């Protein structure tokens, strides 16, 4: 048996926890990142510090790895396409392309009969006026089609707002408008799929946000079994239609009248799945590493329920309540500066 090497594009906490899972499996990891001293590099066997478009450095990465993955969706699509000419990259460029662009994402979801919020492409203030008219509403959300995260790149607008000014703040980005969903709750499901076509799912879990950043995940989501079943089915169907190899997360809204609407696909491990490290026999990170390294994915073997709390910015300065709690599993990401809004770690509280 030869040692496998997995390349990971990106170097944040998701890469770090994947590298930790790989290490336990005896799989080497090489992080490719423009950043020095990153959270993932502290764990990985090796780091290549270079720009994502540096083909010479990408060639070196490909030469050293058996397979390659990425830990966030804002990796340039050309980087993944270039690497695919040299070594397998999982998930592939089709999923990355879909997840990078809200129009591609919503169009794909509709094409496989997964319902989304009503949406429209926006190029001018009159497009927004038309959306207000056609949907017969007084408020909507506009979002940039690309590079939005944690509520960035989006704004709520009313009919009476200065629509030109609202558009100007997002220039030069392409935009969509979305119907505002008065949702009952937000949930997510994570699915892992291997090259043999086997899928394993985690969730659904309930997600609560503070300042647009995930604050708390409750596992399992306290929702009707029929809704949970539907959410699991949708996510598995998505993974199968994409011939996924790796892990993806589907973020969903549950409406007050019992509909489930897809909001966003993350083509990677997800913050709402961090609890799987402590509450499952096989975490989302292990199944991600397994799938991307050609191993079979395994049933999660969830043995506990509970909550995951994100440690944001200064939250890490007082962990005493968790440090004295035998049910609390603290995970810190090795980030030195506790900037406001920065994900510094998380705690899983098992029941």
Does 148 bind ligand AMP (CB under 6 A)? Our answer is: yes
Among 92, 105, 264, 315, binds ligand AMP (CB under 6 A): 264
DSSP letter (8 states) at residue 116: B
Q: Looking at residues 98 to 127 of the shown chain, list those that interact with ligand AMP (rule: CB under 6 A).
A: 117
The candidate with the shortest Cα–Cα distance to 159, out of 172, 183, 177, is 177
Q: How far apart are CA 196 and CA 157, in angstroms?
A: 46
Number of Cβ atoms within 10 Å of the Cβ of 274: 29
CA distances from 98 to 146, 300, 328 (A): 10, 27, 37
Q: At 248, is the secondary structure helix, strand, or coil?
A: strand
Give whichever of 81 and 146 is closer to ligand AMP, judged by the CB atom: 146
Return the number of the residue (78 or 139) whose C-beta is nearest ligand AMP.
Answer: 139
155 binds ligand AMP (CB under 6 A): no
Which one among 49, 141, 298, 338 touches ligand AMP, defined by CB under 6 A?
A: 141
Interface region with ligand AMP, contact rule CB under 6 A, candidates 6-14, 122-130, 167-175, 176-184: 176-184
Which of 66, 92, 186, 194: binder of ligand AMP (CB under 6 A)? 186
∠ at Cα 96 (241, 43), nearest 5°? 115
Beta strands in the chain (DSSP E): 5-9, 28-33, 46-49, 67-70, 119-122, 139-144, 154-158, 175-179, 183-193, 199-210, 213-219, 246-255, 260-266, 306-312, 328-332, 343-350
Instruction: Return the DSSP state at 89.
Output: B
Phi, psi (deg, nearest 5) at residue 337: -100, 120
The encoded tokens of residue 214 equal 């995930």
Distance CA 135, CA 137 (A): 6
* 4 vs 106 by CB, closer to ligand AMP: 106
Positions in 193-212 near ligand AMP (CB under 6 A): 209, 212
Choose the binding region for ligand AMP from 58-66, 178-186, 194-202, 284-292 (rule: CB under 6 A): 178-186
Edge to edge, the sheet with strand 139-144 lists: 119-122, 175-179, 139-144, 154-158
Q: Minimum distance from CB of 96 to ligand AMP (Å)?
A: 17
Q: Which residue(s) pair with 217 in the sheet?
A: 207, 308
Bridge-based pairing state of the strands 343-350 and 260-266: unpaired
Question: Among residues 178, 194, 286, 315, which is the contact residue for ligand AMP, using CB under 6 A?
Answer: 178
The piece of 47-55, 64-72, 173-181, 221-229 that touches ligand AMP (CB under 6 A) is 173-181
Single residue of 18, 199, 263, 292 touching ligand AMP by CB under 6 A? 263
Size of the site for ligand AMP (CB under 6 A): 15
Which region among 69-77, 148-156, 169-177, 312-320 touches ligand AMP (by CB under 6 A)?
148-156
Q: 64 vs 179, which CB is nearer to ligand AMP?
A: 179
Choose one: 146-154, 227-235, 273-281, 306-314; the region binding ligand AMP (CB under 6 A): 146-154
| Contact window for ligand AMP (CB under 6 A) among 50-58, 177-185, 296-304, 323-331 | 177-185
Q: What residues make contact with ligand AMP under the rule CB under 6 A?
A: 117, 141, 148, 151, 154, 178-181, 186, 209, 212, 251, 263-264
């Amino acid at each position: 048996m030869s040692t496998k090497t997995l390349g990971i594009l990106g170097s944040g906490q998701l890469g770090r926890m994947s590298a930790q899972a790989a290490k336990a499996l005896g799989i080497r990891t090489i992080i490719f990142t423009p950043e020095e001293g990153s959270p993932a590099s502290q764990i990985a066997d090796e780091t290549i510090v270079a720009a994502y478009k540096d083909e010479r450095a990408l060639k070196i990465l490909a030469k050293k790895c058996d397979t390659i993955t990425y830990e966030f969706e804002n990796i340039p699509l050309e980087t993944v396409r270039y690497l695919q000419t040299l070594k397998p990259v999982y998930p592939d460029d089709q999923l990355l392309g879909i997840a990078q662009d809200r129009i591609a994402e919503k169009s794909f979801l509709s094409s496989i009969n997964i319902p989304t919020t009503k949406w429209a492409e926006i190029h001018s203030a009159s497009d927004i006026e038309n959306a207000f008219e056609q949907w017969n509403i007084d408020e909507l959300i506009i979002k940039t089609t690309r590079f939005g995260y944690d509520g960035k790149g989006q704004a709520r607008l009313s009919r009476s707002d200065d629509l030109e000014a609202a558009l100007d703040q997002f220039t030069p980005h392409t935009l969509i408008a979305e119907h505002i969903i008065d949702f009952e709750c937000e949930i997510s499901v994570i699915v892992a799929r291997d090259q043999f076509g086997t899928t394993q799912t985690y969730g659904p879990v309930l997600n609560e946000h503070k300042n647009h950043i995930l604050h708390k995940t409750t596992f399992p989501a306290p929702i009707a079994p029929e809704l949970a079943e539907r959410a699991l089915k949708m996510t598995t169907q998505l993974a199968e239609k994409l011939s996924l190899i790796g892990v993806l997360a589907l973020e969903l809204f549950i409406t007050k009248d019992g509909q489930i609407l897809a909001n966003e696909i993350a083509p990677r491990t997800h913050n709402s799945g961090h609890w799987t490290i402590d509450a499952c026999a096989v975490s989302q990170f292990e199944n991600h590493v397994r799938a991307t390294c050609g191993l079979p994915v395994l049933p999660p073997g969830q043995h506990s329920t509970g909550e995951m709390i994100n440690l944001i910015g200064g939250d890490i300065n007082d962990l005493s309540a968790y440090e004295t709690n035998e049910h609390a599993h603290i995970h810190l990401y090795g980030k030195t500066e506790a900037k406001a809004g920065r994900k510094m770690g998380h705690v899983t509280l098992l029941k």
